[in-house]
Structure 1
């Protein structure tokens, strides 16, 4: 028995040595099971009966070894055990962010020589920044923000010469920032710590937000120089000069405003209604000197008689339950202001004498035959859904095409997203953006429900209009099918699906692609035409996917959304849905009714 026992022990020792020399997927699986036991993950419902862990949630493999372990927001708690994770020798990405892990980091993480991405932000790790990090020579992205790390920032960080991201914000780090030298550093943040002293010159190009919440000085913050009489004198002179210059500018602006007011009052008697028709073949234009913007206003139309009818007897055609409280002559007499010039023509806000307000779109370059035009427009006019901008009436004549819609006082989603960031973005919190996404999805789903070939054709943020309660309404339905093939610039704007070569022939799958880009725009705050995206011909979906692959997901979201950390899982789900919608191949995109259903589930979970 003694001999047999010794033999068994020898075999076990040999197998352990062999495993240590040549670990395999079974070893990796054992590591994950030990980790799950140690940190009590509430949602790590892995199917342990499967022979391969590569199908488990958060696990990715390459060459039959675990290469990525991503467990963000999984409810992990407690301390990471020693001598566990270090056995995942082929690990490239480790993400344990947004959990409740505490204590110090296990030293065996130094064994992960292939590690490129380490994301441990938003936990409760404490103690000094671990020195083993400096041995991870392949590290590219390191995020330790929102923890309880204390002590100084070591100059040894400079040993990580491949580092492109270093996030240490919202900890309790003390002392000065060392003169770090990162050749490829792109993202850096040490804000909200207890740091003091001067910002190193090599980091002075980083934004102010990267250093906020400390007792730091130097570029990009305030100067550290508090001495010197000459500098104080120069500053005082500059301040005085600035005050004087500002006073002069204010006075000039007041004079200009008074001058314009006087001119406007003096010219009121000679104003001409922007829509008033003249003789039968004339076009009456607003005098430009009365209002600078009026050069873009409506002109009266040729071929109209005194009753507002064309010579062929055409009138406004009304839809649905629209009250016929105005006719073409009323419309022509109404005052109007330009709302904007878009792909298919110019939009106006028309104000009747009665005070009623409508939006009027004056189309250009309609190329389809009269019969086709009427059929398309009348099909749109019959659509009735709370998430569509109602088409109330239209006028069609040779060379003149008018569409009358309900007026949306809040304007477009595009204007709110990309206008004044100080005003609009604050209003677009996570709940509002989810509601807008849901409303737009429902509107497009209704359009698609009208038939397998019925499409919108030009989905983009400027065609999502908002009510005063921020309800989304889809506009410009079907207009892409009525204009010339070169009139829609969506290819340039980044909304058009890769397979679409003619703007008049967009399939429902093409609509889904455009809607996916719209969702990405809503989440990132970036327009598909953003110069940053297009420097090398990169479109918004590919730009987002590059961040997701590299585990930069949190950095993808609009700054205004990052404050809603409790909703990050929902944001990530909506992001993944947007990526699915904007897949390169049409058959990979989900139908829009399924998209609307998933967004509804996200919206209701956050209410």
Structure 2
């Protein structure tokens, strides 16, 4: 038998390679039947197992001689089949039993990738849901705050349009207007109680002035101009809003349509200086002492100086006592700067230095207006502070000429306000000399920077640097707390 397997097994392997269609069971059965027909009888030796390597390369067949007599098992490893021959008695007929495949479960890489992808997708979805929820909650809170104020949504900031050039400036102004708000008419109606008569706090060249309360709690002064449409209104509003100074009233918003134009300013609680100098007939009331008057003059001078220091110079063009406002601490703030350009050019022709004594007598037209024209107006303002009289008295009992002609015809003692007292006459005299310099001919007038410096010298000489410095520090501190 040993010789038989040594001779026949290589042949069987070769047949398997040449005829892969024939099953292993058929080949092995044929081999066993051939072996039986030749009269071979397996000699089983108990206690030993024989292994016959047929080939050293795949496929291989290993034959085992079992310890139990009469059982021969042939295993074809490459096909995972097992042939078991059971020899029963003398017959020796083999029984062929296929070996079942053993399923070895191994973790699949595809399953691991699928699990990882699912976890990642879940995390992405959770993050998106959280972001969307946060945005919705913020929008809901914003809508709730807006609805509680009973007004429309907050006005958007205005962006300057470079193509909207002013005929007065020549070149466009590259200003960044982040704080100027384009308000809606509904907001202004609600702020002023539908422009109620009880909300009117003044009247100027631009129109009536209303006190109002915006949706954010800001107290404002709304100037309303009716039936006059200026094509460059937005451009001029941008120029005005660009200027910021502690002694200038801030423009915070505007509105315009075909029938009206409105400007919204910070509200200054104590009104204009004239309310504290003279009564309704323009006669002195003696409320302000010399220190207050000098401080107001210095603050107004610094405001005008800041306007003139701009490039190109920003001209007020309508400076007067009614446009110098004071807050609860009597800090002076210049208002209405730049508004004169929004009025029609014909208004200037209707005015003259005889009617409006603040107007420069050497000024022939609006195009000739310069910084020195503002200086002349400031000189008239100093005369009102010193005398306590309105520039052009409205008193029916006293038919007086305007204040400029009066100061040149009267002596100093008669001109100065009697409420100031004798102790401050030296300060009043120095202020009067400065006012006369401002009223001089055009080429001899000082600049606003020089005027502010002279007022600082007068203040320092009379009240000392310590007193002056404490006033300025207090003004800065209180300025941050205004209009809340």
TM normalised by structure 1 equals 0.43
How far does residue 325 in structure 1 lie from its aligned partner after superposition? Answer: 12
Task: Show the 5 A alignment for 1:235-384.
Answer: 317=158, 322=179, 329-334=186-191, 335=193, 336=195, 337-352=199-214, 355-364=217-226, 366=228, 368-370=230-232, 373-384=233-244
Find 1:482's aligned residue among 322, 342, 346: 342
Q: RCO higher in 1 or 2 (8 Å CA, sep ≥ 6)?
A: 2
Q: What residue in structure 1 maps to residue 415 of structure 2?
A: 556
Task: Show the 5 A alignment for 1:388-467.
Answer: 388-419=248-279, 425-467=285-327
How far does residue 423 in structure 1 lie from its aligned partner after superposition? Answer: 12
Check the 8 A contact 1:391/1:404 in 2, yes or no.
yes
SS in structure 1 of the partner of residue 390 of structure 2: coil
Check the 8 A contact 1:412/1:461 in 2, yes or no.
yes
Check the 8 A contact 2:358/2:376 in 1, yes or no.
yes
Counterpart Cα distance in 2 of 1:500 and 1:526: 25
Check the 8 A contact 1:497/1:510 in 2, yes or no.
yes
Counterpart Cα distance in 2 of 1:423 and 1:538: 14
Q: What residue in structure 2 maps to residue 58 of structure 1?
A: none
Find 2:448's aligned residue among 566, 581, 592: 592
Matched, 1:502 2:361: no
Q: What residue in structure 2 maps to residue 59 of structure 1?
A: none
Check the 8 A contact 1:317/1:395 in 2, yes or no.
no
Rg bigger for which structure? 2
SS in structure 2 of the partner of residue 477 of structure 1: coil
Matched, 1:574 2:431: yes
TM normalised by structure 2 equals 0.54
Residues 364, 330 of structure 1: alpha-carbon distance in 2 compared, 3 angstrom cutoff: closer
Matched, 1:511 2:370: no
Q: Kindly provide the CA deviation profile for residues 28-58 of structure 1, in whole angstroms up to 9, marking residues without a partner as x.
A: xxxxxxxxxxxxxxxxxxxxxxxxxxxxxxx
Residues 366, 501 of structure 1: alpha-carbon distance in 2 compared, 3 angstrom cutoff: farther
Residues 377, 504 of structure 1: alpha-carbon distance in 2 compared, 3 angstrom cutoff: farther
Check the 8 A contact 2:187/2:214 in 1, yes or no.
yes
**5+ long unaligned stretches in structure 2:** 1-150, 160-175, 464-484
Check the 8 A contact 1:480/1:504 in 2, yes or no.
no
SS in structure 2 of the partner of residue 487 of structure 1: helix
How far does residue 514 in structure 1 lie from its aligned partner after superposition? Answer: 0.5
How far does residue 485 in structure 1 lie from its aligned partner after superposition? Answer: 2.9
Counterpart Cα distance in 1 of 2:228 and 2:332: 27
Residues 504, 480 of structure 1: alpha-carbon distance in 2 compared, 3 angstrom cutoff: farther
How far does residue 507 in structure 1 lie from its aligned partner after superposition? Answer: 1.5
Check the 8 A contact 1:358/1:404 in 2, yes or no.
yes
The two structures, once aligned, show a CA RMSD in angstroms of 3.4
Residues 333, 505 of structure 1: alpha-carbon distance in 2 compared, 3 angstrom cutoff: farther
Residues 439, 421 of structure 1: alpha-carbon distance in 2 compared, 3 angstrom cutoff: farther
Check the 8 A contact 1:308/1:328 in 2, yes or no.
no
Residues 590, 482 of structure 1: alpha-carbon distance in 2 compared, 3 angstrom cutoff: same
Check the 8 A contact 2:360/2:376 in 1, yes or no.
yes
Q: What residue in structure 2 maps to residue 134 of structure 1?
A: none
Residues 322, 541 of structure 1: alpha-carbon distance in 2 compared, 3 angstrom cutoff: same
SS in structure 1 of the partner of residue 223 of structure 2: strand
Q: What residue in structure 2 maps to residue 387 of structure 1?
A: 247
Residues 532, 422 of structure 1: alpha-carbon distance in 2 compared, 3 angstrom cutoff: closer
How far does residue 343 in structure 1 lie from its aligned partner after superposition? Answer: 1.1
Residues 420, 402 of structure 1: alpha-carbon distance in 2 compared, 3 angstrom cutoff: closer
**5+ long unaligned stretches in structure 1:** 1-305
Check the 8 A contact 1:308/1:329 in 2, yes or no.
no
SS in structure 2 of the partner of residue 405 of structure 1: strand
How many pairs were matched up? Answer: 289
Q: What residue in structure 2 maps to residue 473 of structure 1?
A: 333
Check the 8 A contact 2:251/2:263 in 1, yes or no.
yes
